[in-house]
Amino acid sequence: MVGKRTLCLAFVLSFLLTPLLAAVVPVVDMSLLGGVSYKPSTETVHQGTSMDLKISLPSPNSGNVRGEVVLKASYPDSSPTLEEVIHKAYLRARFPSFRLTAGKTRLSWGDGMLFNAGDVLYGSSSTSVSLTQAVLRDKTDWMAALNYPLGFFSFFETILIPSTSGRIEDAGFGFRFYTNVGETKVEAGFATTDAGVRKHKPYVSLQGNIGADWYLSSSVELDRQFTASTSDLLVTGGLFHSLYFPGDRTLTLRLEFLSRPLQSWAFKGQEDANCTFLLYPELVYTPTSSLSLSLRSILSPLDLSMNATVGASWSVFEGFSLVGFLSAPFGQSSDLFNWEGDQRIALGVGASWIY
Amino acid sequence: MSKPVVKLLLTLSLLCIIPSFLFALTGEEVIQKMDEMATFETSVSTGSIKTTDRFGTKISTFKAWARGASDSLIEFTSTAERGQKILRTQSSLYLFYPDAEELIRLQGAALRQSVLGSDLSYEDMTEEKNTLDSYTVVLEGSEIVNGHDCHVLTLTAKKRTVAYPVQKIWVDKQTYLVWKAEYSTAQKRLLKVMEVLSTVEVAGRTLPSETKIEDKMKRDSATWMTLDSLEVNVPLGANIFSLENLTW
């Protein structure tokens, strides 16, 4: 009942936020997935079906004010909250010297597909992520942001994150500076947030090319007294390169790392919140322009455990793709990835359609 | 034949031949003219990329803005990829994905990635029109293509960063339009063939309005790029080729 009410409210809100609805062309993104999973800890096999539905209502693509409402729902999640259903609801206004963004959306700070120390707003260090998705991190939040261009390829951005408790002292804010120095992109910024505990997070992020594209980010979490513990310094980085073969066959290689260098480097079981060292290798092979085969894995070298996902995606018709994956953790009981607890071996096939 | 007559004939022959040498264009001059004719101070266009394979046809539509030889911005307007943008400047190529609000800077080999699964790469879509910066040119001769008298030129890459190490192109002697191009590896292995199917007259110049690109390494696959509208030398905003506009 709560779910239906929430959905109704969300749709009413979307109409209110989109007064020019007649001129809006909605985009529906639907993903259906069926599969089986095996839970080694209980030696049980589960079968399930899931659906992710995303409806996007963008404003007309003209003028100095734009916006978008994106509603998301998942089956079998029967009671989503309004916060979960409204994935995005924002407006942008372009003034002569700056741009305002207000509402619920995302700002991508730093560089990195899975690991990104520069993502001080939402955090990109957790290993609790589905490696079957094209976009691994897409968390959104309420904000008001101002973007000041400082030339064609440089800008300064500030963000205000409203308090969720209603107390003004719990509000967060941040800023970043983005520019190019020679062939290297340089980005540096700071955010202070209060999700129960006040944290100050300065960061720096660099990106360039040495034959392969490279990126490197570092951040530190400081407490209210501007002190940090050994787990609070985070360094991430990566290399990305594409190899081309006759017939437009492509192999893309990505290797990312995450490190908390001040943590213990002893070979022992790791925990998601304070892992010392992780690797994310990714191979994507495209034998034809419509088919891609991928191997993605999160490796924890200090406890020799890993979570691997083999996937395939076939873009059959316009907007329509067939997908499949096999995912499995490997490791012992005290390791980051293991066959204990809730971790499962999963096999899934499905389809996605955008129209 | 008397000596004076021979002298006269030789003199007349030389007078006929010398101008043709004096006014014959070199390969570099042909390429310069070709680049000039394809480059406008500014342009705004709309069009589509149609890809066919065994399973049917996929169509992506776009709007594009260009300034001079190096700056271009492409925004996709079709449903599946709406709002995705490509910004090309002299030194870099940036992609913007609106779903993740993600700004990605591409350099090096990534420029050769296929755009939306078509036979076009990011490099093809946003190619700089300073051909002589990247290629050496040899004028091979003349051929008739689709009824048009064309210069035949072979371009060989000066640097490894270009998408195609060798290009053979057929350039119209009147309009300097490239009617046909063959793109090959350094070992002369044919990769793609481009043909202009129809043209449009804009500001006194002949430009391609429909182009077919075939990937010779793939069976049953071709890409058609069609321009639906093209305006040239129109005023563009000062910041149109900026990160601010890319992420707008």
**ipTM of the complex in this document:** 0.82
Does the pLDDT of residue A66 top 80, yes or no?
A: yes
Contact B73, B84 (CB under 8 A): no
Q: What mean pLDDT do residues A182-192 have?
A: 94
Q: Identify the closest residue of chain B to A63 by CA–CA distance.
A: B248
Both A79 and A214 in a single domain?
no
Domain boundary residue, one of A53, A69, A91: A91
> Do A82 and A118 fall into the same domain?
no
B112 vs A290: CB contact, 8 Å cut-off? no
Tokens standing for A348? 């899934």
- Are A87 and A114 in the same domain? no
Topology of the domain comprising B25-246: outer membrane lipoprotein receptor (LolB), chain A (2.50.20)
Tokens of B147: 């009824």
B186 three-state secondary structure: coil
* Domain ranges, residue A165: 95-354
Asked whether residue A296 carries a pLDDT value surpassing 90, the answer given is yes
Residues in chain B: 248
Cβ pair A248:B218 closer than 8 A: yes
The span from the CA of A214 to the CA of A212, in Å, is 6
For residues A14 and A103, membership in a common domain is answered with no
Distance CA A80, CA A350 (A): 23
pLDDT tens digits, one per residue of A174-186:
999 999 998 899 9
Nearest to A242 among B58, B77, B109 (CB): B109
pLDDT at B217: 75
The domain boundary residue, chosen from A91, A122, A149: A91
Stretch 39-78 of chain A: residues touching chain B, C-beta under 8 Å: 58, 61, 66
- The token pair that represents B47 in the structure block: 């069009």
Same domain flag for A87 and A104: no
Given B80, B102, B118, which is nearest A108 (Cβ)?
B102
**Tens digits of per-residue pLDDT, B21-63?**
445 789 999 999 998 888 888 999 999 999 887 778 889 999 9
Q: Are residues A72 and A178 in the same domain?
A: no
Query: Which run of H or E residues covers position B13?
Result: helix B3-23
Q: Which of A71, A91, A111 is the endpoint of a domain?
A: A91
Which positions in chain B touch A114 (Cβ < 8 Å)?
none
Whether residue A158 is found in the same domain as residue A274: yes
Angle, CA of A190, A117 and B82, to the nearest 5°: 90
Distance from C-alpha of A4 to C-alpha of B148, rounded to nearest angstrom: 67
Same domain assignment for residues A192 and A251: yes
Q: Are residues A78 and A208 in the same domain?
A: no
Do A94 and B82 lie within an 8 Å CB cutoff?
no
Residues of chain A neighbouring B163 (CB-CB closer than 8 A): none
Residue with more model confidence, B223 or A259? A259
Question: One digit per residue, pLDDT tens: chain B, 248 residues?
Answer: 566 666 666 665 655 555 554 457 899 999 999 988 888 889 999 999 998 877 788 899 999 998 887 788 999 999 888 889 989 887 678 889 998 888 888 776 666 677 766 667 776 666 656 788 889 999 999 999 989 999 999 999 987 767 788 999 999 999 999 999 999 988 888 888 999 999 999 888 999 999 998 888 777 778 899 999 999 989 998 789 999 999 98
CB pairs under 8 A between A and B: 121
Least confident of A10-19, A147-156, A296-305: A10-19
The predicted structure's pLDDT at residue B187: 87
The answer to whether residues A160 and A293 belong to one domain is yes
Beta bridge partners of A239: A214, A255
Asked if A50 and A81 sit in the same domain, the reply is yes
**Interatomic CA distance for residues A55 and A90, integer angstroms:** 14
**Which chain A residues are closer than 8 Å to B106 by Cβ?**
213
Residues of A in contact with B82 (CB under 8 A): 27, 58
Looking at the structure, tell me whether residues A33 and A165 fall in a common domain.
no
Q: Which of A94-98, A176-180, A304-308, B21-25 has the lowest mean pLDDT?
A: B21-25
Give the mean model confidence (pLDDT) for residues A323-334.
91
CB contact under 8 A, A213 and B59: no
Domain chopping of chain B, boundaries: 25-246
Cis peptide before A76 (omega within 30 of 0): yes
Quick one: which of A145, A191, A195 has its CA closest to A170? A195
A118 with A102: CB under 8 angstroms?
no
Closest residue of chain B to A156, computed from CA coordinates: B244
Mean pLDDT for A157-180 is 92
Query: Any CB–CB contact under 8 A between A240 and chain B?
Result: yes
Total structural domains within chain A: 2
